[in-house]
């Protein structure tokens, strides 16, 4: 690109990082350059980068000329290294060797200011002054809500790409990063099982997932965890926790020697608890096992909060393939003169573009119930 008449497409990653973001960036940049001959402008640190770059233009036309010159003068890898540059013209080399790398080389961020319409308007104004033909937003629920605002307000074409390990976006069967996070969870369970087996223990592992139990549910199904506790059935009372402890004890009575319990971070308690779920459950279970006359009074419970371990790591082939398919679908819409706004989504294993604000897929709800039933029946002793 030698000037801005080529009308670049802007791309940003926002909110929680997810494995597969880099694979998407690579596919998107390469398809832009190789297939469509359209340059791609990477935005550093999500909406924050947009806001900061647009703030630099507040004092007039000269700043716009400077910004354009900087973008053209310091492209690709050099631009990525130059931490002060918010907009980077991506070239082939800048996305080389990043395919499976976790996180995002563009950087991601949360940006509270982007909730303000005036701040968004300035960002849009800047994108228009740069001749940007469309913007692609890669991220989770919040980021895609921000993208929807942009689509409603700007007149720019806006394409969202779901990327979150939480799998809490109900309009798509899968988001980027979910497959990798499930793999990581299975790996973690495999490690904890060694100790649980050797010491005949109960291990309570707290997973991520925000308000959704999907990651825990899929992790349990893939790892064979003995129990999975998800937020969807409602808050855990003391009675419910006793019931769960009694179920574990029942398994022990029938010959089970250890148990892995996955609890999703979205699980709430009634009455509410300030501590991590894994610790609350440890105390409740331990209290039950140590009641007078208990057959397993020496059964030990150990908690662990897996936390950000689940967000990082090398993206699985499935996430990399999904990234390429999402990138292709995004370009198809951008290159269509009648192209719409929307979010790439997986439906019945096909990649589609669905409108912003699409309702939950009924199949997702059904699948959740099926997974719960499978987990229950597969782990029963
Ligand atoms: P995620 O995309 O992982 O769900 P967040 O919910 O933190 O992460 O959202 C990421 C960013 O998206 C926010 O920091 C904000 O910049 C933007 N965003 C979220 N919700 C809105 C909204 N309602 N309007 C405008 N921007 C939003």
The residue annotated as part of the active site, out of 166, 168, 179, 214, is 166
Cβ neighbours for 229, distance < 8 A, ≥ 6 positions apart: 213, 216, 236, 244, 261, 262, 263, 264, 267, 277, 281
β-pairing verdict for 157-162 and 342-347: parallel
Distance 87 CA to ligand 1 centre (A): 20
Of 211, 212, 304, 215, nearest in space to 261 by CA: 304
d(Cα 374, Cα 238) in Å, to the nearest integer?
A: 25
d(Cα 303, Cα 80) in Å, to the nearest integer?
A: 40
Ligand 1: nearest atom to the Cα of 141:
4
Which residue of 145, 153, 181 sits with most ligand 1 atoms within 8 Å of its CB, as the best mutation to test the pocket?
A: 145
Q: Could you tell me if the CB of 140 is within 6 A of ligand 1?
A: yes
Q: Could you tell me if the CB of 326 is within 6 A of ligand 1?
A: no
Model confidence, pTM = 0.96
Q: What's residue 380's pLDDT?
A: 81
166 in catalytic set: yes
Ligand 1: nearest atom to the Cα of 113:
16
- Tell me which H or E stretch contains 135: strand 134-139
CATH classification number, 9-176+315-358, choose in 3.40.50.450, 3.40.50.10610, 3.40.50.2000, 3.40.50.800: 3.40.50.450
d(Cα 259, Cα 280) in Å, to the nearest integer?
A: 17
Which residue of 12, 13, 15 sits with most ligand 1 atoms within 8 Å of its CB, as the best mutation to test the pocket?
A: 15
Q: What's residue 4's pLDDT?
A: 83
The ranges of the chain annotated as CATH 3.40.50.450 are: 9-176+315-358
The ranges of the chain annotated as CATH 3.40.50.460 are: 179-311
Fold annotation for 179-311: Rossmann fold (3.40.50)
Q: Could you tell me if the CB of 145 is within 6 A of ligand 1?
A: yes
Distance 143 CA to ligand 1 centre (A): 4
Q: What's residue 57's pLDDT?
A: 87
Q: Could you tell me if the CB of 16 is within 6 A of ligand 1?
A: yes
pLDDT tens over the chain, length 381 residues:
777 888 999 999 999 999 999 999 999 999 999 999 999 999 999 999 999 999 988 877 899 999 999 999 999 999 999 988 999 999 999 999 999 999 999 999 999 999 999 999 999 999 999 999 999 999 999 999 999 999 999 999 999 999 999 999 999 999 999 999 999 999 999 999 999 999 999 999 999 999 999 999 999 999 999 999 999 999 999 999 999 999 999 999 999 999 999 999 999 999 999 999 999 999 999 999 999 999 999 999 999 999 999 999 999 999 999 999 999 999 999 999 999 999 999 999 999 999 999 999 999 989 999 999 999 999 887
Q: What's residue 381's pLDDT?
A: 77
CB 285 within 8 A of CB 248: yes
Q: In the 3-class helix/strand/coil scheme, how is 235-301 assigned residue by residue?
A: CECHHHHHHHHHHHHHHHHCCCCCEEEEEECCCCECCCCCCCHHHHHHHHHHHHHCCCCCCCCCCCE
Residue closest via CA to ligand 1's atom 6 equals 142
Distance 84 CA to ligand 1 centre (A): 23
Of 13, 264, 231, nearest in space to 140 by CA: 13
Q: What's residue 59's pLDDT?
A: 77
CB 157 within 8 A of CB 88: no
d(Cα 143, Cα 169) in Å, to the nearest integer?
A: 12
Q: Could you tell me if the CB of 148 is within 6 A of ligand 1?
A: no
Q: Could you tell me if the CB of 108 is within 6 A of ligand 1?
A: no
């Amino acid at each position: 690109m030698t000037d801005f008449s080529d009308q670049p497409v802007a791309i940003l990653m926002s909110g929680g990082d997810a494995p597969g973001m880099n694979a998407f960036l690579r596919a998107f940049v390469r398809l832009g350059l190789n297939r469509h001959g359209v340059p791609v402008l990477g935005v550093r640190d999500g909406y924050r980068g947009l806001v900061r770059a647009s703030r630099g233009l507040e004092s007039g036309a000269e700043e716009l000329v400077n910004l354009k010159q900087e973008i053209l003068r310091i492209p690709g890898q050099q631009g990525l290294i130059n931490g002060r540059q918010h907009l980077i013209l991506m070239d082939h080399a800048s996305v080389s060797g990043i395919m499976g790398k976790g996180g995002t080389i563009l950087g991601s961020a949360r940006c509270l200011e982007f909730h303000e319409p005036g701040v968004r308007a300035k960002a849009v104004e800047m994108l228009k002054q740069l001749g940007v033909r469309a913007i692609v937003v890669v991220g989770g629920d919040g980021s895609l809500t921000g993208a929807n605002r942009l689509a409603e307000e700007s007149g720019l074409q806006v394409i969202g790409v779901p990327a979150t390990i939480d799998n809490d976006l109900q309009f798509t069967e899968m988001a980027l990063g979910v497959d990798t996070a499930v793999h990581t969870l299975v790996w973690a369970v495999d490690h904890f099982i060694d100790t649980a087996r050797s010491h005949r223990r109960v291990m309570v592992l707290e997973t991520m997932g925000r308000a959704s139990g999907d990651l825990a549910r899929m992790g349990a199904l893939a790892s064979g965890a003995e129990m999975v506790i998800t937020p969807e059935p409602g808050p855990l009372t003391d009675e419910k926790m006793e019931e769960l402890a009694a179920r574990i004890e029942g398994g022990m009575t029938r010959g089970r020697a250890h148990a892995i319990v996955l609890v999703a971070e979205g699980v709430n308690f009634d009455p509410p608890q300030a501590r991590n779920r894994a610790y609350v459950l440890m105390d409740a279970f331990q209290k039950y096992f140590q009641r007078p006359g208990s057959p397993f009074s020496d059964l030990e419970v150990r908690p662990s909060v897996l936390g950000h371990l689940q967000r990082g790591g090398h993206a699985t082939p499935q996430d990399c393939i999904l990234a390429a398919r999402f990138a292709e679908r995004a370009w198809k819409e951008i290159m269509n003169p009648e192209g719409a706004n929307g979010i790439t989504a997986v439906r019945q294993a096909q990649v589609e573009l669905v409108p912003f604000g699409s309702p939950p897929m009924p199949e997702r709800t059904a699948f959740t119930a099926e997974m719960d039933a499978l987990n229950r029946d597969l782990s029963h002793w």
